[in-house]
Structure 1
């Protein structure tokens, strides 16, 4: 589902060239939950941006669901992103002038889906994350944990085969963070998506099927973790 081959990323910093990724290779099969770990400066956020098609590598390639995305024209890349990827951001990225229901529905509308079908799907997802009674609330009326639950529902609205999550519990306290994590894993299991989560938190990564650790732009370990499904069901 995700294939990364010989990925390099360098940037110019004045007269110097800074190598952020130095040749990264891995593949993630359908349905796997993979955590990409590393300290600040390891290259994990850059890698996530390349997986999402939000940046272009200096060399190498990324394939999502069999499609090479790294050098596609922006219009075709936008189409692939819209149909293939759901995003969960650390900072929620909700539109403040839209209600919870409207925020979740937005990707559906942008992809010209049938509105009534989209409304039913959005309501179902918001109910599944415990916000069935908050459909008409605006982001400012929701707590941080509730906003992130809206973001989870939005990420799954189009049933994407891949969900990318960037420190999804980073702005939450431990209780809300655990709740959001469990909801994310349960949604992921129910929808059968491939989940790629970037984090520096070893406790969070422990829930993953697999942990890929970066250091100084290189993969230094790639190990199988415990089952995310079993971890959630044991609670």
Structure 2
């Protein structure tokens, strides 16, 4: 579902070239939950941006569901992203002038050829599934941080994308809300059969993944299957982090 080949990313810093990613290769099969880990500056957020087609590599390529995306024209790239990817941001990235329901519907209206009624039913069903059935008409400012992230989760899954990328999805939440959002993300991953790639610096979150890919100084230093991933984030397990 995801294939990364010889991926490199360098930037200019004055007269100096800084290598952020130094040649990365890996693939993620359909339905797998992979956690990308690493300390600050390891390159994990840069990698996620390249996987999403939000940035262009200095060398190498990213294939999503068989399509090489790194050097596509922007209109073609937007089409691939719209049909292939859901994205969960650490800072929610909800549109403040839209209600919870309208925020969830937005990808559907931009990318789907199906009848609007289908999208409306899907959006409502997802908001109910994340516990926000009574918040459909609320604006982001009227929602707590945990509720906003649950809206963002519903938005990421509304088109049934084969791939969902999540960038520190619990990073701005307290422990209780972080556990709730992680629980919902895992449930949606299993129910929808989605390939999930989550960036985190938190080893507790990584215990729920099928696989852990660790970056250090722009290189993959460890790539291991988790032989006994935690199925659900119990309070005891999550709070231990």
Normalising by the smaller structure, the TM-score range is over 0.9
C-alpha separation in 2, matches of 1:106 and 1:5: 32
TM-score by structure 1 length?
0.97
Q: Where does the alignment leave 5 or more consecutive residues of structure 1 unmatched?
A: none
Following TM superposition, by how much is the alpha carbon of 1:134 offset from its aligned partner in structure 2, in angstroms?
0.6
Conserved? CA contact 2:30–2:195, under 8 Å: yes
Corresponding position: 1:44 with 2:57: no
Following TM superposition, by how much is the alpha carbon of 1:111 offset from its aligned partner in structure 2, in angstroms?
1.3
Following TM superposition, by how much is the alpha carbon of 1:225 offset from its aligned partner in structure 2, in angstroms?
1.4
SS at match of 1:231: coil
Conserved? CA contact 2:179–2:233, under 8 Å: no
Conserved? CA contact 2:20–2:43, under 8 Å: yes
Cα distance change of structure 1 residues 99 and 222 upon mapping to structure 2, 3 Å threshold: same
**Deviation sequence 1:99-150 (CA, Å, 0-9, x none):** 0000000000011442100000000000000000110111011000000000
Q: Corresponding residue for 1:231?
A: 231
Cα distance change of structure 1 residues 233 and 145 upon mapping to structure 2, 3 Å threshold: closer
Cα distance change of structure 1 residues 97 and 114 upon mapping to structure 2, 3 Å threshold: same
SS at match of 2:191: helix
TM-score by structure 2 length?
0.95
C-alpha separation in 2, matches of 1:177 and 1:115: 32
Q: How does 1:1-235 map to 2 (within 5 A)?
A: 1-112=1-112, 113-226=114-227, 228=229, 231-232=231-232
Following TM superposition, by how much is the alpha carbon of 1:30 offset from its aligned partner in structure 2, in angstroms?
0.2
C-alpha separation in 1, matches of 2:234 and 2:138: 33
Following TM superposition, by how much is the alpha carbon of 1:205 offset from its aligned partner in structure 2, in angstroms?
1.0
Conserved? CA contact 1:34–1:212, under 8 Å: yes
C-alpha separation in 1, matches of 2:3 and 2:145: 33
In the comparison of the two structures, how many residue pairs are matched? Answer: 234
**Deviation sequence 1:124-180 (CA, Å, 0-9, x none):** 000000000110111011000000000000000000000000000000000100000
Moved over 3 A (4+): none
Following TM superposition, by how much is the alpha carbon of 1:41 offset from its aligned partner in structure 2, in angstroms?
0.4
Conserved? CA contact 1:4–1:27, under 8 Å: yes
Conserved? CA contact 2:208–2:233, under 8 Å: no
C-alpha separation in 2, matches of 1:93 and 1:226: 34
Q: Where does the alignment leave 5 or more consecutive residues of structure 2 unmatched?
A: 236-241
C-alpha separation in 1, matches of 2:75 and 2:24: 26
C-alpha separation in 1, matches of 2:205 and 2:56: 28
